């Protein structure tokens, strides 16, 4: 049985992030799941769903502005792909886990027992809710400054790989070299339904050329194509 975990005090998180919230109610709401609210109706606490909605929009705007200013030669389509790769669930989950956001989550008992604290979608939602809360409390500049520390460096580090569509590159390479038919197959699915992992194999001319793992079938296929290109 999964043990019930007491959320860490948010004052500790603020100290770690060196961010002081004026409206601490906003901060508490960002880390309050609807399951917790439903079990503590008399407390009058809000959950993070509305903040998640707002944070999603703030995040997209901040990242769009950063990409526009950083990749000055990139066309619109490439900027769109870069943004999608930057604000995707796995990216947000990775940052949230590094910042230990799951430890500050307030969950209902049922959600806790079902493994909600480790659920990727829930963790990504908390990250977006935090960005929304920070925006409401301190404005766009504060949200942008937070992302400049914790998100934008990832784009700089991984910018070249994020800009590449490995499936397209592999397709062009195979066609140019006349190596035969290119195909993908999802050969395995593993993990619980809320945290599924896919394994893809790419074949060229009927032979295995690469394999990749991802949180979605599309991501797994991209990683398989990247593996195939690395083998050449």
Residues annotated catalytic, as ranges: 56, 128
- Contact 51/132 with Cβ under 8 angstroms? yes
Scanning the structure block, which residue is given the tokens 């991802």?
A: 214
Non-local (6+) Cβ contacts of 121 within 8 A are: 89, 194
* DSSP state string for the chain: -PPP-PPPPHHHHHHHHT---S-HHHHHHHTB-HHHHHH-GGGT---SHHHHHHHHHHHHHHHHHHHHHH-TT--HHHHHHHHHHHSSHHHHHHHHHHTTGGGG-B--HHHHHTTGGG-HHHHHHHHHHHHHHHHHHH-HHHHHHHHHHHTHHHHHHHHHHHT--HHHHHHHHHHHHT---EEEEEEEEES-GGG-EEEEEEEETTEEEEEEEESSHHHHHHHHHHHHHHH-
């Amino acid at each position: 049985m999964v043990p019930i975990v007491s959320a860490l005090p948010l004052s500790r998180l603020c100290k770690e992030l060196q961010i002081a919230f004026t409206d601490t109610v906003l901060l508490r709401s960002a880390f309050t799941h609807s399951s917790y609210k439903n079990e503590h109706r008399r407390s009058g606490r809000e959950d993070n769903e509305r903040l998640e909605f707002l944070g999603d929009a703030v995040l997209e705007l901040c990242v769009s502005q950063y990409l526009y200013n950083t990749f000055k030669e990139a066309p619109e389509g490439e900027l769109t792909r870069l943004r999608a790769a930057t604000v995707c669930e796995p990216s947000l989950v990775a940052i949230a886990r590094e910042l230990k956001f799951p430890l500050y989550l307030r969950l209902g008992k049922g959600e806790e027992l079902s493994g909600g604290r480790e659920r990727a979608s829930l963790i990504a939602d908390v990250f977006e809710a935090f960005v929304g809360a920070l925006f409401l409390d301190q404005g766009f500049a504060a949200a942008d400054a937070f992302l400049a520390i914790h998100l934008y460096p990832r784009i700089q580090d991984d910018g070249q790989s994020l800009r590449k569509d490995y499936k397209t590159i592999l397709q062009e390479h195979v066609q140019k070299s006349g190596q035969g038919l290119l195909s993908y197959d999802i050969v395995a699915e593993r993990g619980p339904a809320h945290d599924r992992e896919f394994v893809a194999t790419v074949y060229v001319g009927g032979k295995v050329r690469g394999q990749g793992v991802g949180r979605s079938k599309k991501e797994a296929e991209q990683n398989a194509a990247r593996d195939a290109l690395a083998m050449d």
